[in-house]
Structure 1
Amino acid sequence: MEFWQPNSPLGGLAHVKSGRSRRESSWDRSGGNRDFAVVPAGETFVIADIAGAGRIEHIWLTTRCYSEKYLRKLVIEMFWDGEENPSVRAPLGDFFGVGHAVAKHYISLPLNAVFGPRRGPKGPFAAAMNSYFPMPFGSHAKIQIRNESDQPIENLFYYVDYELSEQPIPDDVARFHAYYRQEKPATAVRHTTELENPAPWDLPGTNLTGDDNYVILDATGTGHYVGCVLSIDNFDASNQVFSWPGEGDDMFFIDGEVWPPSLHGTGTEDYFGAAWGFPSGEYAGPYHGITLGASPQEHFGLWSMFRWHIEDPVRFEQSLRVSIEHGHANDQGNDYSSVAYWYQLGEHAPHADLPPVEERLPRRWPEHGLWDE
């Protein structure tokens, strides 16, 4: 039998498993071609309401909304097994890896966004977003889109592909979670030096607590972290010459541990799988990439990046605090926003509602050359 065991994901395709394939979608029930929903401003639309035990395998959707920066104004929420507080809560664009409401094409293993050059008067609409994160549920699943913009979603097209099982969900199968956070701006901790133009490794200041770091995830319970999307608006330099925001180290405090953390990194670009100030500019790989990049020389501007812990999940039994410095020893005061993704057993701590729309909009926005002060 050992010979027949699959040795790769593709190898497993030959093995037949029990289950019922199902889909929720926006297809026109009249038989026409109006295969979309319309969501008025301020309203919520449920795209999936599923009873039974199963697993969501794929979500695809595309929207047309003429509200500027609408990818930060629309919110996606997911509820598992009758819970009142969602396990997933994030702006629609950020959940799918699109930071700062700036449409960019990228491909990764669990998420992708397919954007072309076409634009509407207020931003991109010729676009699609996909998730391949497996999302198990034991008795019920609900996914909804909240329209917090001032304009209707004129077209909401969607697929939610899932499988149902006659077998109950095993006790060791965790639920999928994702949550958005932001600090605008992160509070800078200023340091002084007598050096006129210090090299990156000679920047002043130390951080031996992690207390002032930007927090990507603060979870309680048992589970594992599988990655994040991090977006930075870089406008606050460490000094007049050194404008790079990436000297901030990543830190993972597991199960309530104090300093030092079990996982301590060496720099932002290092954690996101690159080096030396992101010289590549924008790129996308299966597990890490830069979906939005400013100038590799001057660094000022909008950055968005992803890092997936598919092969190296960070496991925790009681709690996990994932954080990253904003500049070396938190010496920069830039705008930070993020979505963390993780799997967790049992109930999760309630997620606070998102900041009001105006507070979560990007400070600066480059679509069509429009930059808001």
Structure 2
Amino acid sequence: MANRKMILRIFFDDAKNPHVEAPIGDFFGVMHGEDAYDINTPFISVKQYSGYNCYFEMPFARNARIELETGEEASTCYIQIDWHRYPDQQMQETRRFCARWRKENPTKRYGSDFLMLDAMGQGQLIGFFYGLRLIDNVDRWSHAGADNIYIDGQGDYPAYIRGIGGEDTFGTSYGGAHHPPETHLDAGIPYYEHEDIGEARRVQRLVGYRFFTKDAIPFRESIHMRFASMQNNICSMVYWYQNGEPVEFVKMPGWEALLPDTPLPGGQMDVLAHETGAWRLSKVLSNQGNAAIAESLKTPLDNLTLSDDWEVYPAVHGFVDYNLSDRPHVYGVGVHHQPAARKAQALFSVDEDTEAYLQVAFDDHAVVHVNQDQPIDLGNHTSFRSCEIPIKLVAGENLIQLTLSNTTGTNNGGWAFAFKLKSNSGMILHPSAVHSDE
């Protein structure tokens, strides 16, 4: 447990927020309070008997500060730091290394997935470790899908990456069950144990990792990452580069909550501040024979008020993911509503009549309503792609509704869209938080 009783923080160039903050063991991929297990990657190398090694490049222009904080218990640590000084060269690199740890115990069954990363600015995702301890005794399922990565939702080229299964993320298959611990350069499951938590059954405790060395994941404006989860004990360690200081999306809990089995409900570590307005989501509609899409194309909206009985959904970086709101309570990988459709509504306020451009990225079939104008068919995208259309907004509040269908498609049932509304002057318009009458 010692490596959960020491926190590593790294600051570059007089930053107020740490670029790196994590329990010391988790930073090196050693999770669940274990002392050590073999890890062999280009960035992290762990030898037995607590030989932790890190090879990330960590550029800085003026200074770097490394801190180790411990609790009341005395701790001993030996550390060696290698660095280069270039006194005759001006530093050109603007990106800084960042890393964050997050824990949730227990996560929600069929919930909104485990949050791993939320970052603003320009940068590149490098990789992550993912630690899971199965405690669910209902579905007895270690995951519920895989990684979901939302990139540049309000940029010019939004992207959505959706994995097909948790084990596939780490380069294995069939749920990773009976998996021998192994470590490879870019992906692996270096720690895998079965334990008994009561009745006689196999209960997984594992750690997997994935590094994007040959398949880089850059972002220009934002990145948000989640991992599908059931009701289990989960932690993660994510590494990335970005320009400027990272904006906090998690805060380190108290010392007791750091320990592997201590409860830490979702939200207690989170300080998410990147929500981009509230949407209202309808119930899931049947789209057999494309009926729901065809119906949405028939007539304009009846009125210009939000549907009060629809679910309130705060978008993050312009993304709305229906799967995070309502997923079938069915055991299986990539289970989703299909054929289905769902509507999302939001209000946008302007001071005067305004011409604007609406950019929507999605897959499957989408229809948009703007106030009580005729509905606009955005077409059917076979993969996640953007389209842009000119629209007219009137002074005051404007109601925009988007209807999106869902099939299995090329992204295994992903059901998300990225939304950006920009005036001709270049201002990005965000949805109002609530209806003006509320």
TM-score, structure 2 normalization: 0.55
How many angstroms apart in 2 are the aligned matches of 1:274 and 1:104? Answer: 22
Tell me the residue number matched to 2:115: 215
Tell me the residue number matched to 1:105: 37
For each residue in 1:131-175, what CA deviation from the matched residue of structure 2 results, as whole angstroms up to 9, or x when unmatched? Answer: 000100011111111112x3211x3211100111121211x4410
Letter in 2 for 1:84: K
Distance 1:347 1:133, change over 3 A: same
What are the within-5 Å matches in structure 2 for residues 165-180 of structure 1?
Answer: 165-166=86-87, 167-170=89-92, 172-180=93-101
Q: Which one has a bigger Cα radius of gyration?
A: 2
Report 1 or 2 for greater relative contact order, CA contacts < 8 Å, sequence distance ≥ 6: 1
Letter in 1 for 2:53: N
Residue 281 of structure 1: how far off its partner (Å): 2.1
Q: Which of 217, 236, 246 does residue 143 from structure 2 map onto?
A: 246
Letter in 1 for 2:82: D
Distance 1:348 1:93, change over 3 A: same
Tell me the residue number matched to 1:285: 184
- 8 Å CA contact 2:120–2:246 kept in 1: the answer is yes
Tell me the residue number matched to 1:21: none
Residue 286 of structure 1: how far off its partner (Å): 0.9
- 8 Å CA contact 1:251–1:261 kept in 2: the answer is no
Q: Which of 233, 236, 243 does residue 345 from structure 1 map onto?
A: 243
Tell me the residue number matched to 2:69: 146
For each residue in 1:312-353, what CA deviation from the matched residue of structure 2 results, as whole angstroms up to 9, or x when unmatched? Answer: 221111110111110xxxxx2101111110000123213543
For each residue in 1:88-136, what CA deviation from the matched residue of structure 2 results, as whole angstroms up to 9, or x when unmatched? Answer: 00000000000111123212221022124xxxxxxxxxx2200000100
Residue 298 of structure 1: how far off its partner (Å): 5.5
Structure 1 unaligned residues grouped into runs of 5+: 1-68, 117-126, 190-210, 327-331, 365-373
Tell me the residue number matched to 2:21: 89
- 8 Å CA contact 2:117–2:249 kept in 1: the answer is no
Letter in 2 for 1:302: R
For each residue in 1:200-219, what CA deviation from the matched residue of structure 2 results, as whole angstroms up to 9, or x when unmatched? Answer: xxxxxxxxxxx801111011
Tell me the residue number matched to 2:4: 72
**Greater mean alpha carbon deviation, residues 298-307 or residues 246-255:** 298-307
How many angstroms apart in 2 are the aligned matches of 1:317 and 1:274? Answer: 31
Residue 261 of structure 1: how far off its partner (Å): 5.7
The reply on whether 1:312 has 2:205 as its aligned counterpart is no
How many angstroms apart in 1 are the aligned matches of 2:20 and 2:219? Answer: 19
- 8 Å CA contact 1:288–1:306 kept in 2: the answer is yes
For each residue in 1:45-66, what CA deviation from the matched residue of structure 2 results, as whole angstroms up to 9, or x when unmatched? Answer: xxxxxxxxxxxxxxxxxxxxxx
Letter in 2 for 1:286: L
- 8 Å CA contact 1:177–1:341 kept in 2: the answer is yes
Residue 357 of structure 1: how far off its partner (Å): 1.4
What are the within-5 Å matches in structure 2 for residues 322-333 of structure 1?
Answer: 322-326=225-229, 332-333=230-231
Residue 280 of structure 1: how far off its partner (Å): 3.4
The reply on whether 1:272 has 2:170 as its aligned counterpart is yes
Instruction: Tell me the C-alpha RMSD between the 2 structures.
Output: 2.3
Letter in 2 for 1:318: E
- 8 Å CA contact 2:152–2:159 kept in 1: the answer is no
Distance 1:294 1:318, change over 3 A: same
What are the within-5 Å matches in structure 2 for residues 58-69 of structure 1?
Answer: 69=1
Letter in 2 for 1:168: Q
How many angstroms apart in 2 are the aligned matches of 1:333 and 1:156? Answer: 35
Structure 2 unaligned residues grouped into runs of 5+: 263-438
For each residue in 1:164-194, what CA deviation from the matched residue of structure 2 results, as whole angstroms up to 9, or x when unmatched? Answer: 1121211x441000001111111113xxxxx
**Count of residue pairs brought into register by the alignment:** 253
For each residue in 1:296-316, what CA deviation from the matched residue of structure 2 results, as whole angstroms up to 9, or x when unmatched? Answer: 995514211111112222111
